[in-house]
Amino acid sequence: MARWVIFIIIYLLLSVYGFQAIKTITKQSWIHYVFIAIAILVVGNFIFQFAASSEGRVLTPAKSYAFGFLLAFMSLTLVLVPILLGEDIIRGALGLYDKLVTKETFYLPSRRRFVSQIALGLAAIPFASLLYGMYRGKYQFRVLNYTLHFDDLPDAFDGYRITQISDIHSGSFDNKEKIEYAIDLINEQQSDVLLFTGDMVNNKASEMLPWKETFSKLKAKDGKFSVLGNHDYGDYVDWSSKEEKAQNLEDLKAIQKEIGFDLLLNEHRYLKKNGQQLALVGVENWGKGGFKKAGDLKKASSLIDKDDFKILMSHDPSHWDAEVVNDDYHYHLTLSGHTHGMQFGIEIPGWIKWSPVKWRYKQWAGIYESVGQYINVNRGFGYLGYPGRVGIWPEITVIELKKGTKDS
């Protein structure tokens, strides 16, 4: 209860400053009432959605949108507050100066209209961006292509193409046409193999049922392989029994099989071509910071040769630094997801790559290299929590393996 009281107080203070900016710019009373109505509706819907009983830490689409609209509205007020507060400090200082120096009655100068206009103009940028991210950004799929060189790549796999997708989060989808477009886009890459690195659902296997037929259309000549992510285990649901939770996981495994995925549960497969092979290793979720650690790298690799060329599928990129990169086995390429790039950031190739998630994850999006080993962190196919994406778009990764060094 105390959390809600603190939240409402903060929200009211921010909204008051936002109202002051609106009131300074225009005298049209209907605009004032519209602002007040929106402020009440946004917070009222948020409280209604999150204060109601739930099945645990389950984010339904309704809750996600309530959070999204609250985030957008508060981004508006959060930009306004420091600007208007700064002006208030200056106004107060000028009034105090007049009182102390001229000995006149304390007089607080009125707000300057142009300051409020500038503040609102700046605040409109994140506000509009977050609304755009909810409306279109979440389905703004892009294909990212990488070429990685390895001296010990088997000759038969020179030019081998891998398509990676991650973090489907089917429980969040609300546009079948956009998802079908993305499936077609994946198939257009005509890669040799398709690898999915976990989080097929948000919470329950049933979320994937409406999308099973759509994802069954995914194609790759050497097969489709997958691993589990932290959300796939149903850990964020208050199940009525352990048996119900266990059955949910079994149902998800069955759905993956029906779609055509070969699910790797701390095990391996060999991809073979022209008498040569590379080892595909898949671990269950292993993550730092309180996430499930069901992954067992030693078990997954127990039946492969140390000298095999190895591709590892591990949902959480924190696993790479913690266990993979310094393992006795040399894992040439690790494929992860999990971070979503926080679904918010700024990326201009060759100039800037930033997201707040970088403060949590050292490897959070794209290709990283250490001691001759690579990891690709996919930005995710779907979305979770905030029902949109801003600057960090949904990703389909295509990696081409090449024999030799980059400059050869």
CATH, residue 161: 3.60.21.10
**For 237, which DSSP code?**
B
Closest of 46, 175, 73, 67 to residue 128, by C-alpha: 73
pLDDT at position 354 is: 96
Dmax (CA) for the chain in angstroms is 95
Give the SS3 label for residue 69: helix
**Is residue 184 domain-resident?**
yes
pLDDT at position 108 is: 59
- When divided into structural domains, the chain yields a total of 2
Closest of 398, 385, 381 to residue 140, by C-alpha: 381
Q: Which two tokens stand for residue 298?
A: 């030693």
Same domain, 199 and 271: yes
Same domain, 182 and 244: yes
pLDDT at position 263 is: 98
Same domain, 309 and 362: yes
pLDDT at position 164 is: 98
Q: Compute, in degrees rounded to 10, the torsion defined by CA atoms 346, 347, 353, 355.
A: 30
Report mean pLDDT in 10-residue bins for the chain, 408 residues: 83 86 85 92 92 74 93 91 78 70 63 79 93 96 97 97 98 96 98 98 96 98 97 94 97 98 98 97 95 96 96 98 95 98 93 95 97 97 96 98 82
Amino acid letter at 400? E
DSSP H helices in 168-325: 176-188, 212-215, 242-259, 297-300, 318-319
Give the integer Cα–Cα distance in Å for 169 and 269. 25
Give the integer Cα–Cα distance in Å for 64 and 386. 6
Same domain, 379 and 288: yes
**Is residue 105 domain-resident?**
yes
Residue 151: Cβ within 10 Å count: 9
Same domain, 59 and 82: yes
Enclosing H/E stretch for 135: helix 113-135
Q: Which two tokens stand for residue 194?
A: 């398709």
pLDDT at position 19 is: 86
pLDDT at position 103 is: 61
Same domain, 112 and 223: no
**Is residue 102 domain-resident?**
yes
Give the integer Cα–Cα distance in Å for 26 and 117. 10
Q: Of 114, 135, 156, at which residue does a domain stop? A: 135
pLDDT at position 60 is: 82
Same domain, 292 and 313: yes
Same domain, 363 and 334: yes
Same domain, 124 and 238: no
Q: Which two tokens stand for residue 189?
A: 């890459």
Closest of 360, 379, 367, 354 to residue 406, by C-alpha: 367
Same domain, 207 and 346: yes
**For 89, which DSSP code?**
H
Give the integer Cα–Cα distance in Å for 382 and 249. 20
pLDDT at position 185 is: 98
pLDDT at position 51 is: 80
Q: In which residue are the tokens 């006795």 written?
A: 328
* Single pTM value for the model: 0.91
The answer to whether residues 202 and 246 touch, using CB atoms and an 8 Å cutoff, is no
pLDDT at position 88 is: 72
Q: Of 135, 158, 185, at which residue does a domain stop? A: 135
**Is residue 322 domain-resident?**
yes
Q: Of 83, 101, 135, at which residue does a domain stop? A: 135
The answer to whether residues 352 and 365 touch, using CB atoms and an 8 Å cutoff, is no
Instruction: Kindly tell me the number of DSSP H helices and DSSP E strands found in the chain.
Output: 9, 14
Burial (CB count within 10 angstroms: exposed 0-12, middle 13-18, buried 19+), residue 60: middle
- The residue segments making up the domain with residue 320 are 141-403
How far is the CA of 237 from the CAs of 55, 125, 228, 284, 290, in angstroms? 5, 36, 17, 19, 16
Same domain, 311 and 389: yes
Task: Give residues with Cβ within 8 angstroms of 105, minimum separation 6.
Answer: 99
The answer to whether residues 130 and 392 touch, using CB atoms and an 8 Å cutoff, is no
Task: Give residues with Cβ within 8 angstroms of 7, minimum separation 6.
Answer: none
pLDDT at position 92 is: 72
**Is residue 408 domain-resident?**
no
Same domain, 131 and 225: no
